[in-house]
């Protein structure tokens, strides 16, 4: 796990490096689609490994509560919180990258 975190931090693994552009398009929609089904994976792909670990706790708790019949609604609530956290963190990471690129282009 530590090697994966180091690789993500060293190489900034994200879906944006595939085509070298940071424009809204199909890759934006795809990362959010991944966040619906597996929010920790989407955060890893967005380059946020520590947020992914925290989100993994929410994700696993939601599965545990979802399996139990009595606390089914709590599981859905925890899944929703994890999804919301992933969407906001991915959006924030993309905005940070855009701002860094803008500042770098202004500095040259």
Whole-model pTM: value is 0.68
pLDDT of 15 reads: 43
How many domains does the chain contain in total? 1
Structure tokens at 32: 């959010």
Q: What is the pLDDT of residues 70-92, one digit of tens each?
A: 778 888 899 999 999 999 999 99
pLDDT of 66 reads: 86
* Residue 38 belongs to some domain of the structure: no
* Residue 16 belongs to some domain of the structure: no
pLDDT of 106 reads: 85
Of the pLDDT bands very low, low, confident and very high (cuts 50, 70, 90), residue 58 is: very high
* Residue 37 belongs to some domain of the structure: no
* Residue 84 belongs to some domain of the structure: yes
Residue 74 · residue 64 · CB < 8 Å: no
* Residue 21 belongs to some domain of the structure: no
Listed as own residue / partner, the contacts of 101-105 with beta carbons closer than 8 Å and 24 or more positions apart are 101/22
Q: What is the extent of the structural domain holding 104?
A: 1-9+44-108
* Residue 107 belongs to some domain of the structure: yes
* Residue 99 belongs to some domain of the structure: yes
| Helix residue ranges per DSSP H, 1-71 | 2-11, 26-37, 39-45, 49-67
* Residue 3 belongs to some domain of the structure: yes
Q: What is the pLDDT of residues 5-39, one digit of tens each?
A: 555 555 444 444 444 444 555 567 788 889 899 99
d(C-alpha 41, C-alpha 30), whole Å: 12
């Amino acid at each position: 796990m530590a090697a994966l975190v180091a690789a993500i931090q060293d190489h900034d693994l994200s879906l944006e490096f595939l085509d070298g552009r940071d424009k809204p398009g199909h890759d934006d929609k795809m990362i959010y689609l991944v966040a619906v089904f597996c929010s920790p994976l989407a955060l890893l792909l967005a380059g946020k490994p520590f947020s992914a670990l925290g989100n993994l706790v929410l994700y696993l708790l939601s599965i545990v509560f979802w399996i139990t019949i009595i606390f089914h609604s709590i599981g859905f609530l925890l899944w929703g919180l994890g999804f919301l956290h992933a969407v906001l963190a991915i959006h924030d990471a993309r905005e940070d990258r855009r701002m860094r690129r803008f500042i770098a282009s202004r500095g040259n």
